[in-house]
Amino acid sequence: MMKQWDLQLMAIPAVLFILVFSYVPMYGLVMAFQDYDIFKGISGSPWVGFKHFNMFFDSSDFWLVMNNTLIISFLKLLFVFPAPIVLALMFNEVRNMVFKRVIQTITYLPHFISWVIVAGFVSSILAVDGGTLNSVLLKFNLINEPVNWLSIPEYFRTILISSGVWKEVGFGSIVYLAAIAGVNPHLYEAAAIDGASRIKQIFTITIPSIAPVIIIFLILAIGNILNAGFEDILVLTNNGNNSILTDVSEVIDTYVYRTGISELRYSFATAAGLFKSLINVILLVAANGIARKLGKQSLW
């Protein structure tokens, strides 16, 4: 500690941030086992055991919410997770540095745009009146009349996943580009002498070299499998289409917000959130254990 006092000093803000926003609020989890009253507070509210957990499990919406959460999470794992890896591999093959930096900057920028603005972009592109997509499709006679894309349940998940890829793919590729930069260049030289093509070098050198980083992020992604999203789904399901899209869009986080927080059912919302967190922890530990048993990189 004393030899690295400067590094420890730099870590203090991050440690305080985690303590204040992650550990101190854990005291509020006891609300899940109470009939919480904002006037009586946590210390004065009566204990009811697993009442709110049972209410959540017995709710008519429970299986709908769980089904949507798992489907959207797996779609994000299938498309959003590998997208930054593919982009990083593509960037690594670009030799024109000016072009590379310009494209990197363009792909990084959406990460810093809030989901509210992204939803505005999506709504404008998919709008019935003057929307870019409808205008193009009408121009080429691919549709006979404008389509209200955001009000069709079959298209919602595609729109959601596509928006997520566009927003996060560039920023997510930074870690993988850093990992690729650490690969020994002599490996590529030796492979080239042996006659390996660029494609073969990617699969035999680049991907195996960054595999530990990919596995770490995959473990974390599996541990967040029930975090199907909140902001993105909330802003894409407005008052106009929410009732139409509920069957395909309602996930645990949005359900907790709409039925728990909006209706002031704080104990119910806490119980549902605690259930989700416990499942995520179990999945995280399981994924880490499997990776360790397979002799791969693991978190611990």
What local confidence, expressed as pLDDT, does residue 292 receive?
87
| Tens digit of each residue's pLDDT (9 = 90 or more) over 58-114 | 988 899 999 999 999 999 999 999 999 999 999 999 989 999 999 999 999 999 999
Topology classification of domain 60-293: MetI-like fold (1.10.3720)
Residue indicated by tokens 């997520």:
164
What local confidence, expressed as pLDDT, does residue 297 receive?
77
Among 74, 65, 60, 123, residue whose Cα is nearest residue 247: 65
The more confidently predicted of residues 205 and 2 is: 205
Q: What is the mean pLDDT of the chain?
A: 91
> Where do the domains of the chain lie?
60-293
Q: How many Å apart are CA 64 and CA 245, to the nearest integer?
A: 12
Average pLDDT in the 26-47 region? 92
Q: Evaluate if residue 136 carries a pLDDT over 80.
A: yes
Q: How many Å apart are CA 73 and CA 157, to the nearest integer?
A: 11
Backbone angles phi, psi at 34, to 5 degrees: -130, 160
What local confidence, expressed as pLDDT, does residue 174 receive?
93
Torsion, CA 115, CA 70, CA 80, CA 230, rounded to 10: 10
Q: How many Å apart are CA 221 and CA 73, to the nearest integer?
A: 9
| Tens digit of each residue's pLDDT (9 = 90 or more) over 154-205 | 999 999 999 999 999 999 999 999 999 999 999 999 999 999 999 999 999 9
Q: Evaluate if residue 243 carries a pLDDT over 90.
A: no
What local confidence, expressed as pLDDT, does residue 176 receive?
95
| Tens digit of each residue's pLDDT (9 = 90 or more) over 276-291 | 999 999 999 999 998 8
What local confidence, expressed as pLDDT, does residue 239 receive?
64
Average pLDDT in the 23-45 region? 91
Q: Evaluate if residue 258 carries a pLDDT over 90.
A: no
What local confidence, expressed as pLDDT, does residue 186 receive?
93
User: Which residues fall within 8 angstroms of residue 155, CB to CB, at 6 or more apart?
Assistant: 149
Q: Evaluate if residue 17 carries a pLDDT over 80.
A: yes
